[in-house]
Amino acid sequence: MSGSGRPERPLDRNAGPLAAFACDLRLLREGAGLTYRQMAVRAGYSHNALAQAAGGNRLPSLEIALAFASACGGGETEWKKRWCDTKDAVARETRRPADVREPDRWTPLDESTHEGRFAAYLRTLYLVHERPPEAIASEIGRPIADLRCWLDGKTLPVLEDLLALLRALHAPPGGVAIARRLHDHARDTGRPAKTRKHFRISVQWGDRHWALLLGNPQEGNTAVR
């Protein structure tokens, strides 16, 4: 048990440097046999802050990482180096240009199905945010292969993974609501959508406007205005 009232979300340490760092923090805590509430007394930070440090969604501050390690008997010099190495790895991953643009990998979607419409909307959010897929996968603690399966409509993320993905893509409340509604439809039925009529979803970020046309595979799916 984590001591925070619910089990920790499983992490794949191969998903990237953030996930690997969080996994190592978890192993350190488990080795010390402490709950997060017990650690909080030693570390001087709330149990929620310590649990988030090992959540794998973002790199904790150096101060919290060192407090976490110290509470579990970890050495300051070792964990400061590991934190710095992780920070550098995340920065390199974010800056590294992809050999192949992610949209060039995408396969055509069948937008007459709920699954296809959901995947098409995820693609729009991805294109607006313009982050390397490796960085997104690392932040949400999932393999990049899972992310690509979601964007291709091959599999559906569970709700927890969907919410983590939407946070990583900085989706606004309206975008979260649309994604969850499309996800619910795709999850509840594999039947074709009731209509093949075209409909357009518009997304506005700052001065950029993206329109998503669904229901017509012959036309382009995304446009910038």
Superfamily of domain covering 102-224: lambda repressor-like DNA-binding domains (1.10.260.40)
What sign does the CA torsion over 64, 68, 73, 78 have? negative
The mean pLDDT value for 67-80 works out to 95
Could you tell me which CATH number the domain at 13-95 has? Answer: 1.10.260.40
The mean pLDDT value for 189-217 works out to 46
The mean pLDDT value for 97-113 works out to 75
Residue 95: the pLDDT is 62
DSSP letters spanning 36-55: HHHHHHHHSS-HHHHHHHTS
- Spell out the domain ranges in the chain: 13-95, 102-224
Q: Is the per-residue pLDDT at 219 higher than 90?
A: no
Residue 207: the pLDDT is 47
Q: Is the per-residue pLDDT at 109 higher than 90?
A: no
Confidence at 208, pLDDT banded by 50, 70, 90: very low
The mean pLDDT value for 138-150 works out to 87
Q: Check: CB of residue 196 under 8 Å from CB of residue 117.
A: no
13-95 matches 102-224 in fold:
yes
Measure the CA dihedral 200/175/209/152, to 10°.
-70
Q: Tell me the pLDDT tens digit for each residue of 149-192.
A: 999 888 999 999 999 999 988 888 888 889 999 999 888 764 44
pTM of this structure:
0.48
